[in-house]
Amino acid sequence: MNVDELVRTPAWWIEEDSSEPGIVVSSRVRLARNIRGAAYPGWAGEEECERIWKELLPILSDLEVLDSPLHAEMGELENIDKQILFERHLISREHAEKGKGSGVVARGDERLAIMVNEEDHLRLQSMRPGLALDEVWKEIDDVDSAVEQQVRFAFGVKLGYLTACPSNVGTGLRASVMLHLPGLVLMNDMNPIIKGMGKIGLAVRGLWGEGTEATGNMFQISNQITLGEREKDIILELEQIVLEVVEHEKNARIRLLQEREMLTRDHVGRAYGILTNAHILTSKEALDQLSGLRLGIDLNILDSLDGRVVDELLLLTQPGHLQKLEGRRLKPKERDRARAAQVRSRLLDAKKPALRRRKSQTSHE
Amino acid sequence: MNVDELVRTPAWWIEEDSSEPGIVVSSRVRLARNIRGAAYPGWAGEEECERIWKELLPILSDLEVLDSPLHAEMGELENIDKQILFERHLISREHAEKGKGSGVVARGDERLAIMVNEEDHLRLQSMRPGLALDEVWKEIDDVDSAVEQQVRFAFGVKLGYLTACPSNVGTGLRASVMLHLPGLVLMNDMNPIIKGMGKIGLAVRGLWGEGTEATGNMFQISNQITLGEREKDIILELEQIVLEVVEHEKNARIRLLQEREMLTRDHVGRAYGILTNAHILTSKEALDQLSGLRLGIDLNILDSLDGRVVDELLLLTQPGHLQKLEGRRLKPKERDRARAAQVRSRLLDAKKPALRRRKSQTSHE
C-alpha cells in the first residue's frame, strides 16, 4: 500500500460539490465477521493470525467490488503510515497497534475497507460522504455476500453471526453517521440529545469513535443493539433519528442567527482570526476553530471562503498527515507550529480567488 | 468645560512621534494641598466645599501656567463626561462621584490638572508621556509656588504639608510612572518585581490606580512614603527604579524573541486576529489584546501597523469615550459590540497605507 500517494488525495468523505450545509459529514456501516473454526484474533497466536491473513488476502484482493485494492499488513507499515490510515478512518486505533498477521485491504477510493484480525477476523466497512446509510448498507451487504461465497463464517442459528465481543453478536452490524453540530452545541442543546440517544439504544461518540471526546463539534451516532433486529431496520431507525437531529441542528442554526447573531458572528470571526494569525495550534484547537469556520461558511457569514479548504484542513492538521506533508517526523511542539503554518497559508491562499476575480487579467492560475 | 471637544483630541500621553519602544507610557507627579483653617473636604459640608471651590476657581483659572484652562464643577457634569475625564486620567474615580463644590481645572493640553475638593482641597498634578519625572516635578512645583502665593496652605513645621489622609502628610507628593510590561508578564517575571517594589517602599498598581488590576500589562509604580524625604530624592529614587524595570523589560523582550519566539509570535498574532475579527469585546479583553498588538509593534513583528492606532484604541475602547464616539448611551452588551466594531474598522483602516503603497496609481485617497 502506497500511503504517500494516499495522503495526496482528498479523504473519502470530502465531497466534490456539496450543496447542502455540511451537517451530515459521512455515513458508515461495518460488519463484524469471523471464520468458522478459527480462534478469535485476541486468542489466536501470531502464527494462526498470519495464516488467516495469508488465506484472506488473495480472496479479498480478488473481490471484483474492491477493484484491485490497496492492501497492507500492519507489521510492514511505519507508525506514521498507520497513523494516516487511522486519520482517514480506514483502520481503528486498536488495529494500528497490531503487527504481523493483521492487515487492511481497501478500495482505491477508500470507500470500502476491510480490516483483517482486528477484534474480529473480518471487519468489512463501507463509507460515504453525507447521509447515505442505505447505499453503504447495500454496498457492504454485497461485499459480505461475495466474501461469504469463499469463507465459511462463524454463524449460529439462534444468535446469528458470532463475534469476539458479545456486543456485536447477531447482525455484527454497526451503522454510524458523523454529524457536525455546532448549532446545537452553541445553543447548549446537545446534552439532552445525547441523553435521549442513550435511551433509544444509540451511542453518541466523538470524531475518533469509542471513548473519544466530541472535538470540533463532531458527533458520531451509531446503533448499540446488534441482536434481534433486522439489518434494514437498524439502518432505517438510525436514519430517522439522524434526520431528526439534522432538523434540530438546522433549527438551532436559525435560532443562533435570530437570537444570538452577534455571538455567532463573534464565534466565527474569532475562529477565522485565530486560524489565520496563530503560530501555535494544537490538534484539538485546530478542530474546534475549524468547526467555527465551517459554521461560518454554512451560515454564509464567511462566504468568501471555500468549504473544501476547511474539510481538507480538518484532515491535514492531524498528526500523521501533517508529518507526511512536512516530509519528516515532528515532535508534538513542532507539530503545533507546522500545523499553524499550514492553516495560515492555506486559509490565506483560499482567500486569493476573491482577489483574483477582481483583476482577472493578471490571473496566473 | 467642553468635554465633546476634549474627546476628539488624542489623550495627553499619546506622543506624536515616539522613537523608543513604548515601555514607559507616562509620568505623573501630584501634590496634595489643603487650605489652612478649612475642614478637609470629607468633613466639610457641601456649603463650605462650594465656598472653597468658588474661592479657588478664579485663582486657579488665572494662573499663567494653566493658560486659560478648562474647568468644570462635578455637579454640572453628566456622568458620561465625568467618565471621560476619568478615562483621560484628569480626575480620579472618587472625584467623579462627587457633586456640587468639587471641580477640576485643567490646561487645554491636559498635562496639568487640579482637582478641587477631592480627598484634599487641592490635588495638583502634572503629566507627560514617556519617562519625564524631573520635568513634571519641576512643572508642578512651579504651579504649587504660584498657588501658594495666593492661598495659605495647611502646613506644620514638624510634619510639613498636612493632608486628609496621613499617608500623604509631609511632601504630599506622589510620583508615578505607567509602564507597559508584557515581556516581564510573558516571561513570568513580574511577581518577584512587584514583591521587591513593596520592600523598598514603592507601590505597584493597575492602569486605573489604587485597587485596580494590571489589565493590559500596564503597571503603575509610585512612591508610598511622603514623609521625611525631600521631593527631589523621592523623584530620583523612583526614576532609578523605573530605569531598572525598563532594563528588565528590555531583557525580557530579548529573551522572549530568543527563547520563546513562536510563543511570542503566537501571542501577538492571536491578538491581531482576534481584534480584527471579533464582534464582541469587553473592555478588559480589548486592553489585554491591544497590549499584545503594542508588543508586536515594539518587537517589529507587526511592522505594518502604526503604534499610535493602538494608543488611540486603548483610550477609545473605554466606556465613556466609546459612548461619546457612538453619540449615545450604550448598555454594557451594546458597548462590547460597538467596541469590537470600532477596533475592527480602525485596525483595518490602519492597514490600508501598506496596501496603497503597492499600487499607488490606483490610490483613491
Segment A202-233, tens digit of pLDDT? 999 887 665 566 789 999 999 988 888 899 99
Structural domain boundaries in chain B: 3-251, 260-362
Q: Are B134 and B145 in contact (CB under 8 A)?
A: no
Question: B279–A273: do the CB atoms touch at under 8 Å?
Answer: no
CB nearest to B273's CB, from A265, A278, A337: A278
Q: Give the C-alpha distances (Å, rounded to integers) separating B304 from B123, B266, B299, B347, B352.
A: 41, 17, 12, 11, 9
For residue A68, the model assigns a pLDDT of 80
- Residues of chain B with a CB closer than 8 angstroms to some CB in chain A: 262-263, 265-266, 269-270, 272-280, 337, 340
Is B230's pLDDT higher than 60?
yes
- Which cell numbers in the block locate residue A71? 492492501
Question: B277–A278: do the CB atoms touch at under 8 Å?
Answer: no
CB contacts, 8 Å: B340 with chain A? 266
Q: Are B168 and B174 in contact (CB under 8 A)?
A: yes
| Average of per-residue pLDDT values in chain B | 89
Is A283's pLDDT higher than 60?
yes
CB nearest to B270's CB, from A262, A266, A274: A274
CA-nearest of B95, B98, B84, B88 to B323 is B84
For residue A20, the model assigns a pLDDT of 60
Distance, in Å, from the CA atom of A75 to the CA atom of A183, rounded to the nearest integer, reads 43
For residue A351, the model assigns a pLDDT of 75
CA-nearest of A299, A302, A310 to A346 is A310
How do strand A173-180 and strand A24-33 relate by DSSP bridges? Answer: antiparallel
Question: B337–A280: do the CB atoms touch at under 8 Å?
Answer: no
For residue B352, the model assigns a pLDDT of 55
- What ipTM score was computed for the predicted complex, to two decimals? 0.84
Question: B274–A274: do the CB atoms touch at under 8 Å?
Answer: yes
CA-nearest of B52, B31, B41 to B164 is B41
- Dump pLDDT digits (tens) for B65-88: 888 889 999 999 999 999 999 999
Mean pLDDT confidence for B46-63: 94
Question: B277–A270: do the CB atoms touch at under 8 Å?
Answer: yes
Question: A265–B279: do the CB atoms touch at under 8 Å?
Answer: yes
How do strand A70-73 and strand A24-33 relate by DSSP bridges? Answer: unpaired
For residue A229, the model assigns a pLDDT of 87
How many Cα atoms sit within 13 Å of A160 on the Cβ side?
A: 17
Give the chain B residue nearest A269 (alpha carbons). Answer: B277
Query: pLDDT tier at B10 (50, 70, 90 boundaries)?
Result: confident
- Which cell numbers in the block locate residue A211? 471513548
CB contacts, 8 Å: A275 with chain B? 273
Alpha helices in B62-132 (DSSP H): 79-87, 93-96
Mean pLDDT confidence for B273-296: 95
Q: Are A162 and A226 in contact (CB under 8 A)?
A: no
Query: pLDDT tier at A302 (50, 70, 90 boundaries)?
Result: confident
Best mutation target among A257, A260, A274, A279 (most B Cβ atoms within 10 Å) is A279
pTM: 0.86
CB contacts, 8 Å: A358 with chain B? none
Beta strands in chain B (DSSP E): 24-33, 70-73, 103-106, 112-116, 122-129, 155-156, 160-161, 173-180, 202-205, 218-223
Best mutation target among B261, B262, B263, B330 (most A Cβ atoms within 10 Å) is B262
Is A49's pLDDT higher than 50?
yes
Mean pLDDT confidence for B358-364: 40
Minimum distance, in Å, between the CA of residue B18 and any CA atom of chain A: 27
Q: Give the C-alpha distances (Å, rounded to integers) separating B231 from A253, B20, B133, B195, B319.
A: 64, 28, 11, 24, 36
DSSP-assigned beta bridge partners for residue A160: A156
- Which cell numbers in the block locate residue A67? 477493484
Beta strands in A101-161 (DSSP E): 103-106, 112-116, 122-129, 155-156, 160-161
Q: Give the C-alpha distances (Å, rounded to integers) separating A25 from A22, A129, A237, A294.
A: 6, 6, 18, 11
Q: Give the C-alpha distances (Å, rounded to integers) separating B338 from A145, B127, B147.
A: 64, 30, 43
Minimum distance, in Å, between the CA of residue B143 and any CA atom of chain A: 49
Answer whether CATH 3.30.590.10 is correct for domain A3-251. yes
Distance, in Å, from the CA atom of B11 to the CA atom of B311, rounded to the nearest integer, reads 9
Give the chain B residue nearest A273 (alpha carbons). Answer: B273
